[in-house]
Chain A
Amino acid sequence: MTPADLAAQAADLAHQASVLAQNAAGVAAVVAQNAPPAAPFVYLFSIFVLACFVGYYVVWSVTPALHSPLMAVTNAISSVIIVGAMLATGLHGSMVAHVFGFLAVVLVSVNIFGGFAVTNRMLAMFKKK
């Protein structure tokens, strides 16, 4: 093999490598565009665990006299599950998703409005001397 051949092969390889690199960059860009923002399980689970700790300390600081309003308001806020119901109803999924999503929206709306309203009604009753 002459040095000239070697040089030619090297040039060819280099060209192939650069094409591959370009392809890879292109693929990476497409992936980056289409992939949901990184939300791997571990990441969500960390948030969950930390939130449990926050919940633990916050709830222990609630005065026992207000335990009933606490239940009512936790009820209202757990209805933030309406987010899932809305996505099911409003995005182009399937008819089943639209229907069940809508039913869920109605159910948790009872909870959201009812929960906050009854909490408010209770809290308004607590008066000082």
Chain B
Amino acid sequence: MNQSLTSFAYLVAAVLFILALRGLSHPTTSRQGNRFGMIGMVIAIAATFLHSGMDWGWALVIVLGVAIGGSIGLVVAQKIKMTALPQLVAAFHSLVGLAAVFVATSALNAPQSFGIGTPHHIHTESLIEMSIGLAIGAITFSGSLIAFAKLQALMKGTPITFRGQHQLNGGIGVAILLLVIAFVASGGSMVLFALIALLAFALGFLLIIPIGGADMPVVVSMLNSYSGWAASGIGFTIGNLALIVTGALVGSSGAILSYIMCKGMNRSIINVIAGGFGNSGDAAPVGGSNSEGKAVKHGSADDAAFIMKNASKVIVVPGYGMAVSQAQHALRELGDLLKEDGVEVKYAIHPVAGRMPGHMNVLLAEASVPYDDVFELEQINNEFATADVVYVIGANDVTNPAAKTNPQSPIYGMPILDVDKAKTVLFVKRGMSSGYAGVDNELFFRDNTMMLFGDAKKMTEEIVQALGH
């Protein structure tokens, strides 16, 4: 196929990818956007098949590869539980990272295929781009694997920290930079290439292990960003427009999401990456008092049902605990019953609720909660004052007034949902353990708070039953 025609096809693909993201500005246009994305991908792949010099025997091998990978992808996408989305996305990121490493390896071994020189005589510029793509790709791969392991609970979510950690990471970073320079100066040494890859794998691993489980929304967004920059690096290496544009889109998307997540926790990205935040939140026994001897009021499902039934407005605040106990379906039933009784039901989502950006929205959507009942923090925070009941299910730190009142608190300055302004706060919790940040929530001890001890799903189901008769 004519070279400029191929380039044109890649341009069309890039534009379609932009439209795919654009579609996500509203749920009604989002599926059309997704279709644009798929069409863009088909165009990019078709244009590459028609590349001059494509060997038809090997083209069949490509088709085979697409069939193998594609069927795995489709099966996984259909089977995956929505609560497991964060780890799926982390796993997908790792694949992009590894693919970038493989493509860089191919480009080093067969530069003529990409028009960047001949073996051992690769353009200097391309060597720089190649090694950058390689390093970022490798970091994305191993970093995402760790994020996956933590989210999938294959390894503990608690931060792993040791002395000299940051110095070690810094040292590896500098070593990678020096190796890149040496690699370029050597004109493309395979040994140096492999060393860069190994050190970058190690760095990705070391960067993520100190970051705690609940900081994963930031990590997953950050790795999203990395996978984009890696793609762009490879795009520069092989001079492909679609890849450069897409990499830039994905890179900035991940960066913006990381920023939003950090802002949701009032922490800097540096602070998150440095890691070590939060303790394991070991559960204290269920009891009526904390260290200061203040008593909490606890109630039963029947009490909760009674209070909710007599309310005119209920706001539900879901958190990661809802996802863990898969309570979203029971929660929707509860909402339906209340609505039948003429109660206004709304849902309030904190930006960092769950383990990835927008996780709660997907889980509620999965349980058929209409999206126009679901609100972001800024949209709904004023309404808590007019709510009769707030039902906090699986959230803790994002409701803690200490974020506003106690400058000593580790979460001070974090934007919170003002649930304390409501007439009654119902807190579903397994025990009196503190949240991820390891701080007590004074809300538990307020007069207008009623603790509902139990599993989020079981408790919600019991309330549904109690409402039933």
Chain A positions near chain B (C-beta within 8 angstroms)? 36-37, 39, 41, 44-45, 47-49, 51-52, 54-56, 58-94, 96-98, 100-129
A74 contacts across to B, CB distance below 8 A = 21, 224, 228, 249-250, 253-254
Partner of A111, one of B73, B113, B245: B73
B-side residues, CB < 8 A to A, are 3-4, 7, 10, 13-14, 17-18, 20-22, 24-28, 30-31, 33-34, 37-38, 40-41, 44-45, 48-49, 51, 53-55, 58-59, 61-62, 65-74, 76-78, 80, 82, 85, 88-89, 92-93, 95-96, 98-100, 102-103, 105-107, 109-110, 112-115, 119, 125, 220-221, 224, 227-228, 231-232, 234-254, 256-257, 260, 349, 351, 356-359, 361-362, 365-366, 368, 370-374, 376
Complex interface: chain A residues within 8 A of B38 (CB): 116
Whether A71 lies near B257 (C-beta < 8 A) is: yes
Mostly helix, strand, loop or mixed at chain B's interface?
helix
Q: Measured between alpha carbons, how far is A78 from B159 in the docked complex, in Å?
A: 29
In-complex Cβ contact of B73 among A37, A51, A112 (8 A): A112
Give the total number of A-B pairs whose CB atoms are below 8 A apart. Answer: 396
Given that A71-B357, A108-B69 are contacting pairs, would A36 and B115 also be in contact in the complex, using a CB cutoff of 8 Å? yes
A–B complex contacts, Cβ < 8 Å, 22 sampled: A36-B239, A48-B232, A48-B244, A51-B245, A54-B249, A56-B252, A59-B252, A66-B27, A70-B257, A71-B358, A78-B246, A81-B234, A82-B45, A82-B66, A84-B237, A86-B49, A93-B113, A110-B70, A111-B69, A118-B85, A119-B37, A121-B78
Beyond A82-B44, A91-B55: 7 further Cβ-contacts under 8 Å? A74-B224, A77-B20, A84-B107, A90-B58, A108-B99, A113-B71, A114-B73
Q: Give every chain A residue within 8 A of B78 (Cβ-Cβ).
A: 117, 121
A77-B37, A77-B246, A126-B365 known; A100 vs B102 contact (CB < 8 Å) = yes
Complex Cα spacing A129 to B13, Å:
35
The majority secondary structure among interface residues of chain A is helix
Of the residues B96, B236, B366, B371, contact of A79 by C-beta under 8 Å: B96
CB of A91 to closest CB in B, whole Å? 4
Q: A77–B25 contact, CB under 8 A? A: no
Alpha-carbon distance A116/B78, docked complex (angstroms): 11
Given contacts A65-B376, A94-B109, are A86 and B48 in contact (CB under 8 A)? yes
> What is the CA–CA distance of A61 and B29 in the complex, to the nearest angstrom?
13
CB-contact partner of B99 in A60, A65, A79, under 8 A: A79
**Which one of B125, B351, B365 contacts A64 once the chains associate, using CB atoms below 8 Å?**
B351
Q: How far is the CB of B298 from chain A (nearest CB, A)?
A: 33
Closest to A75 in B: B92
